[in-house]
A and B are shown apart, each in its own frame.
Chain A
Amino acid sequence: MNALAGIINRCGDIVEDVSFAAVREYKQKTGNKALGYFPVYSPVEIFRAAGFLPVGLNGAGNKIEITSADSRFGSFICSIIKSTLELAIKGHLDVLDGMVFYDICDSARNLAYVIERNFSEKMFMDYIHLPQRSNGAAAVSFLSSEYGRIYKKLSEINSTASSTEKLRENITLYNANRRLLRELYRFREKRPHDLATRELYVLMRSGNFLDVQEHNQILSEALKELDGRRLKPKDTVRVIVEGSFCEQPPLELLDIMDSVGYYVVDDDFLIGRRLFERDIPAKGNPIQALAQGYMKNSVSSSVRHDPKRPRVDALLEKIRRHRVQAVIFLYAKFCEPGLFDYVLYKNVLDKEKIPYLFIEFEEKMWTFEKMRMELETFMESLLFEYA
């Protein structure tokens, strides 16, 4: 196995491991605590500065069976809510000392409190309100106060002194992480034949369970190795994938997109990991810089409302920037924010005559035949159109 395949395989294993072995190992080695965060975006710099390993939770894919959580959350609730609860019920989340939730949707908000009621003896729960409005001064200062509050709370739990320096250090580390991810995405955009969707994905997602320093190293090595890859380009269609910002599609589905032949040149998988368009300044007041970053410097997402920047404009801009022929909408079943956005996207894409495909998935799904067929048929129609 060459070095690149080794890195990618290791990342794949970490991503598919619902026992969180990487997190356990890290805790043992460092004696640090771990803090789980529910999607979509999380100010991880603050968590790490307070001595917590930030652990990104994205459900359990099709790796555990839901046996208890579905009696707590009804059949019309998305999978990630249930798989996260199931992970907690089965003890997989015992590795976490706390969990943080955000105002992304009604289901996630209630899950936060169901977790609190059932697991408060094992871990603490916090809920951070990320402003749902334009980037006015009031919103930035409110978010700074939220961040200040959580930093203080975490520092107290960990008995660490608050430190501007430490916060800045973490901003620098995560800036580097986001830069590396941007670089990977640029690579993918330029040479999609040399980096499969799944490969890019597991490289990125392994960072949910590793310390950022280690993840940065992995990404740098992968980039170095990738540079030497020379696979054969295909004559195929370039698309962007939109809609899987929270619950994540099974890896098999990414494989199918690749094997059907799409070049996915951009997507919104784990969009919270690369929310910022530019680096966060590691000078001045770091808490404020992070709040400003969220309010003024973040890409569009389905769970952040900005009355001044409609999401449809952001999508059209993305389509043009990447020169793609089509959009594949990949939504988690029952995902209220995603499915609502689809209506407006559909409305403008119809007007602009940009082709798109709508697919609904569940992270826990096992069979993909129907989707493969839909993806193939869509591909044929695109090839026909652009022939």
Chain B
Amino acid sequence: MPEINHQSPKKDVPAMHYQGRMHALQKELINRWYQDLHGVWENQQGDKKEISARGAVSLMISGNCIELLRAFDLLPIYPEINALQLAIRKQALEYLLKAEEVGYSTDNCGYVKADMAFLLEGASTGLQTRIPKPSLLLCNFVGCNTYIKWFEHLAHFTGAPLFSLDIPFLTSEEPTPDQTAYVMTQIKELIKVLEKISGRKFDIDRLREIVSLSAQAEDYWAKIKDFAKRVPCPFEAYFDSTTMMGPLYVYRGTPEGVKFFQETYREFEEKVKLGIGVVPQERFRVVVEAPPPYPYFKVFRDLFTSWGACSVASTYSCVGGIWEFDFRHDPKDPLGSIARHMLIHNVCNRNYLQRYRQIERYIREWSADALIIHSVKSCRLFSAGHGDMREYFSKTLNIPTLFVESDLEDPRYYSPAQMKNRFDAFFEALEHRKFGKTSQGTAG
């Protein structure tokens, strides 16, 4: 850890440990979700267990419409979270190789490959639970074309029914009335399908309650993201935000979800009051673009921390929704706001230049010194065109920009030594630029 700090930090502040209350709560919630899914699986095996869920539906994270599932007591299965868990538990490679054996290309998105191999193996999760067969494959095509393939493959190999929710890509700031009408019609079609598979009638008032719970959690989440404007920043807005995304997508629309975000908000509020940053001596504030390398999650995080760098905003934490710019689900217009969420308020369905604008805004309003682009091979949604993004930020806007490549699932694309060199060189230069002198010999 570099010792020097040119900003005279508060010396008596204790260093914050990576693991806060938030992390423990998150773990508890995610475990519970896996147990609930396991309950559905057991029921499918003929064990007549008491469970509250009426089945499970697979859907994708981006612009997810979890509220609709909750309205029918259906549990979500997120194949992406499954893939992420495999990577972070360092099991991904085994499944990636299996996927390649059945014909998946080394160049296909690793998330899909790991999840499909996991499914074909009929394996247990890291928590020794099983994922049930979905009652429905809800292919919410919100930006990522790879989703479509993923769900076609799930349908091919599981035989589960497939419903496609085709969300037109956002080409201007507001969707056209035709785009909105198209999405609304499909939502209504989907409701009919969900009624059938759950055996439950659609109740708009129930959905209003759920949407109102979503809005409460979203309010806290937005305020949490706002805390990251503080110096020092009380949490890691890339790494910790990633942790918070689990509850955000799985538990939105439930009292547990609200509670999680309320408690997390309080935890960070305390830190703000005491002036405690997540990085012991905050020296650099950065914005991060694209997903993290899950197989090297901690190692990658250390590259930031060891330089006293803290992420204050990240685009990846917005794949499932963007709430820091005022959007909320609306109990007065539950279906309309679900449509708007999918169409406009998530990073995946917004066009590439809108992403540039979002990053610019982060850099300005969250007072960042630099941009870090972690270009992942798997995910072209993020990475296709990253060279242009680098060019725009570093040359046109003159913002220090670090561009590094690896992958979010496949450990073979991460080279620890090389990555460290790139980070060290970048922060050394940034240090010079920000503080006017270098800290020779202390870096990293």
Q: Which residues of A are at the interface with B, using a C-beta cutoff of 8 A? A: 70-74, 76-77, 81, 103-107, 109-114, 116-118, 127, 129, 131-134, 136, 138-139, 141-142, 145-146, 149, 303, 305, 307, 310-312, 333-334, 336-337, 339-344, 346-347
Contact = CB atoms under 8 A, between A and B. Distances in A.
B164 A111 contact: no
Contacts, number: 159
Interface string B366-389: 000000000101011101111110
Contacts of B163: 307
B185 to A, nearest CB: 4
B244 interface: no
B32 interface: no
A346 B387 contact: no
Top 6 nearest A-B pairs (CB, nearest first) are A113-B352, A145-B178, A106-B380, A142-B182, A340-B149, A72-B387
Interface of B: 102-105, 107-109, 112, 139, 141, 144-146, 148-149, 152-153, 155-156, 162-166, 168-169, 171, 176, 178-179, 181-182, 185-186, 189, 351-353, 356, 375, 377, 379-381, 383-388, 391-392, 405
A142 B384 contact: no
A112 B352 CA distance: 9
A146 B178 CA distance: 8
A343 B102 contact: yes
A141 B109 CA distance: 33
16 contacts: A70-B387, A74-B383, A106-B146, A107-B384, A113-B385, A114-B352, A133-B164, A139-B182, A142-B178, A307-B152, A336-B145, A336-B380, A340-B112, A343-B103, A344-B152, A346-B102
Contacts of A138: 182, 185-186, 189
A127 B149 CA distance: 21
Contacts of B381: 106, 109-110
A337 B145 contact: yes
B388 A109 contact: no
A71 B387 contact: yes
B169 A136 contact: no
Interface of A is mostly: helix
A336 B189 CA distance: 30
A73 B182 contact: no
B41 to A, nearest CB: 25
A295 B386 CA distance: 33
Given A73-B385, A113-B351, 14 more contacts: A74-B377, A81-B384, A112-B351, A116-B353, A127-B171, A132-B141, A138-B186, A139-B182, A146-B178, A307-B164, A336-B107, A336-B109, A336-B380, A342-B105
Contacts of B377: 74, 76
Given A72-B391, A127-B169, A307-B163, A344 B156 contact: yes
A106 B178 contact: no
A74 B386 contact: yes
Contact of B153 (A72, A73, A303, A344): A344
B373 to A, nearest CB: 11
Most buried by B among A109, A149, A342: A109
